[in-house]
Amino acid sequence: MAVYEHLYEAYEGESHSAWSRFLVIPRYALRETFKSKLLTTIFILCFIYPLIATILVYLHHNANALALLQINVRELLPIDASFFQTFVQVQGAFAFILTVLVAPPLISRDLSNNALPLYLCRPLSRTEYVLGKMTVIVFLLSLVTWIPGLLLFFFQASLAGLAWLWANIWMIQAIFSSSMIWIILLSLLALAVSSLVKWRVVASGALLGMFFVPRAFGEIINELFLTRAGHLISFWATMDSIWRGLFGLFKRQTGTIRGKVDSPIYEGQVVDIVLLEPPLWASWLVIALVCAVCVWLLSRKVRAYEVIK
Amino acid sequence: MTSVIELEQLSVTFGRRPILKSLDGALNGRAIGLLGPNGAGKTSLIHTLLGFHPPTAGTARIFGQDITTDAKSVRQTVGYMPERDSFIAKMSCVHFVRLMAELSGIPAKHALERAHEALFFVGLGEARYRPVDSYSLGMKQLAKLAQAIVHGPKLIILDEPTNGLDPPTRSRMISLIRQIRDGGRARILLSSHLLRDVEECCDEILVLKDGHIAANCNLEEERKANRKFIELETRGGDRSAFIEAIGDLGCEYALSGERRIKLIMNETVQIADLYRIALEHGVQIRRLNFKRDSLEDIFLKAMENGNAGEGVSALANNGNAIKNADGNGGMSDGSL
């Protein structure tokens, strides 16, 4: 139909496949996202650490450069599981910042403008809608976590040789899994908050609060009760345990402290108390429970119309 | 031929409260008006057809496709204009409509073309690059219509499309709906509180009351149902002989003043017969009004007797006092 005719015509052309329809949502959302200069700047800053890590890897394998810079190879960080775990941790922090900036308006804006009926009256299910919104976060966070992580790994492998690659091939799975678990947790939490709160600023504040307030409480519990169980309510500490577990670096005993125990047997005595991190399965369980609650919240809130009792 | 919408014992319950109660029927009109007082279940029926609320019993079909088992196919063929303000913030109207087209399955390139066309069609061509949040209420309504038609649906569901519109914008909206209807490419389901809107656009109506179907009828046929009720205004001639001759034809009549005669035509009597008798007796017929039901009459009758399963056809002949279409006052069997 030509524009000048101004008539209603049915569409009889081709359609794109039903399974990929949800990808329309992230395409539009990402276009809107990168209109923000602040976000674009932070997104670029996210690649500073990967750049530093790449330089470190390069220096490890370049004697000339080390000589030029007058650095001994032993002074550099070793390129091992710990190196890549630190990489995931640092990039995880950047991923969190990106999530706080990008995710809050994703669903809340649609809710406040009553746009959900417009999405859901089309051949798009509620799951696909959430998946579409989640893809925005997963795509962005993947670009700053496991994708540069794996590139760095292969860069190291290319310089260190096949022997190193075969010895450390398990790290591919560790880099990918540890990043993806963090990405999934962040996306689900952010989308759940976004579906509960209609104002962007409040949603961002709530997201920040969820990560920092329990952490502070956890530390208070740890100090008061001379334990490490408080880590279970801190997402940072829980994820740290999981990351360490995936990179084979997890240790339950993280130290001892000397103090008085409030017990009739040791009353008044100063003893060494062994501090045990919560077991790994408990950390996994906490993350799984949080994800399940987020999915439940999304299934309750992402509806074309809410039926009010 | 497949009905546009088929309702088969469709029931919907919110919590313990029944909202739609065993709705049955088939709707085939080019433009179907959905009427009913507040809380009758109009919007709930629309939402159920779109799959927003699952039926607790029964089902419905749109162009033969079940709304529960073929939900996605149904939504592929349907365009929906919601009642409340609905848009995507911080997006220009053309991008908003394009996004909606792409979500309906149209490839990106064609979607942009369709978005432009739809916006020109509804009259927002000049304002299409402005963000929707900056639009006036009337423009937002037109933008909602554009997104509902952009993918060329076979059924367009319009929920209160003229809500809050000023008269010129309302006329524009009604004219667009009629254009779509007359184009024959899409059927329309129009839900409105405004009987005038439905009367101007629809050829079939479904009246809901308390979650029941109070009436489901073809509007044109319903209007014609009272064609046998006629009001005459006469001048001159032998009026008493004229009336006697009408009586001889088997028509019941009642005199109203010196010049007016109300009568119920016999099945075998034609209008031409009246003119012939008038000529024979030198009587001039100055005015001849068919007593036709307005939509308001149909609606009010349905509301008076809104039990499920009793259609307007039955109601039209039950002898209740009914208001004249041209507002000339009432007429009842009792006066004849």
- Please list the residues that pair with B188 across neighbouring strands: B31, B156
**CATH code of the domain in which B275 resides:** 3.30.70
**CATH code of the domain in which B212 resides:** 3.40.50.300
Are residues B50 and B30 part of one domain? yes
Are residues B233 and B212 part of one domain? no
Mutate to test the interface with B, among A21, A122, A299 (most CBs of B within 10 A): A122
Single-letter amino acid code for the residue at B267:
E
* Domain extent listing, chain A: 22-249+279-301
Are residues B106 and B149 part of one domain? yes
Pairing of strands B284-290, B229-235: antiparallel
Strands of B252-256's sheet in order across: B252-256, B260-264, B229-235, B284-290
Q: What is the mean pLDDT of residues A241-249?
A: 94
Element (H, E) at A271: strand A270-276
The per-residue pLDDT for A199 is 85
Are residues B232 and B162 part of one domain? no
Domain count, chain B: 2
pLDDT over threshold 80, residue B323: no
Tens of pLDDT, residues B282-301? 999 998 887 666 677 778 77
Are residues B140 and B51 part of one domain? yes
Are residues B53 and B184 part of one domain? yes
**Three-class SS state of B156:** strand
Instruction: For chain A, give the mean pLDDT.
Output: 89
Torsion of CA A27, A29, A31, A32, to 10 degrees: 170
The per-residue pLDDT for A76 is 73
Domain for residue B29, yes or no? yes
Are residues B113 and B28 part of one domain? yes
Q: What is the mean pLDDT of residues B316-333?
A: 32
Q: What is the mean pLDDT of residues B249-260?
A: 83
The per-residue pLDDT for A264 is 66
The per-residue pLDDT for B268 is 82
Domain for residue B67, yes or no? yes
Q: Which of A86-100, B155-169, B241-255 has the lowest mean pLDDT?
A: B241-255
Confidence of residue A261 (pLDDT cuts 50, 70, 90): low
Q: Residue B198 and residue B34: Cα distance in Å, rounded?
A: 8
Distance from CA of B149 to the nearest CA of A (A): 8
Number of cross-chain residue pairs from A and B with Cβ atoms under 8 Å apart: 128
Are residues B108 and B68 part of one domain? yes
Strand (E) positions, chain B?
A: 5-14, 17-27, 31-35, 57-62, 65-66, 78-81, 155-159, 187-191, 204-209, 212-218, 229-235, 252-256, 260-264, 284-290, 322-323, 330-331
Are residues B138 and B235 part of one domain? no
Domain for residue B326, yes or no? no
Cβ count within 10 A of residue A230: 21
Are residues B261 and B200 part of one domain? no
Distance of CA B124 to the CA centre of its chain: 26
Distance from CA of A124 to the nearest CA of B (A): 7
Domain for residue B297, yes or no? no
Of B218, B242, B267, the residue that ends a domain is B218
Single-letter amino acid code for the residue at B52:
F
Tens of pLDDT, residues B86-129? 898 889 999 999 999 999 999 988 999 999 999 999 999 889 99
The per-residue pLDDT for A198 is 83
Q: What is the mean pLDDT of residues B246-254?
A: 85
Cα-atom radius of gyration of chain A, to the nearest Å? 24
Are residues B237 and B207 part of one domain? no
Tens of pLDDT, residues B58-88? 999 999 999 999 999 999 999 999 998 889 8
Q: What is the mean pLDDT of residues A261-273?
A: 68
Tens of pLDDT, residues A25-67? 999 999 988 988 999 999 999 999 999 999 999 988 888 888 8
Domain for residue B52, yes or no? yes
Give the CA count within 13 Å in the CB-facing half-sphere of B163.
Answer: 17
The per-residue pLDDT for B330 is 33
Domain for residue B314, yes or no? no
Cβ–Cβ under 8 Å, residues B305 and B269: no
**Structure-model confidence comparison of residues B193 and A145, the more confident one:** A145
Confidence of residue B269 (pLDDT cuts 50, 70, 90): confident
Q: Which of A106-120, A265-279, A292-306 has the lowest mean pLDDT?
A: A265-279
Residue A208 token pair: 């920040």
Residue A204 token pair: 């961002």
Q: Residue B260 and residue A304: Cα distance in Å, rounded?
A: 58
Q: Number of H helices and number of E strands within chain A?
A: 14, 2
Angle of helix A170-196 relative to helix A200-225, nearest 10 degrees, comes to: 120
Which residue in the set B15, B47, B76 is minimally distant from A304, CB to CB? B47
Pairing of strands B284-290, B252-256: unpaired
Are residues B240 and B206 part of one domain? no
Which chain A residues touch B if contact means CB-CB below 8 Å? 1, 3, 6-16, 18, 21, 24-25, 28, 32, 109-110, 112-115, 117-125, 303-305, 307, 309
Pairing of strands B155-159, B187-191: parallel
Q: Which domain holds residue B264?
A: 227-290
Distance from CA of B90 to the nearest CA of A (A): 8
Instruction: For chain B, give the mean pLDDT.
Output: 84
Could B107 and A1 be called an inter-chain contact, meaning their C-beta atoms sit closer than 8 Å?
A: no
Torsion of CA B194, B195, B201, B202, to 10 degrees: 130
The per-residue pLDDT for B253 is 84
Q: Which of A238-242, B226-230, B319-323 has the lowest mean pLDDT?
A: B319-323
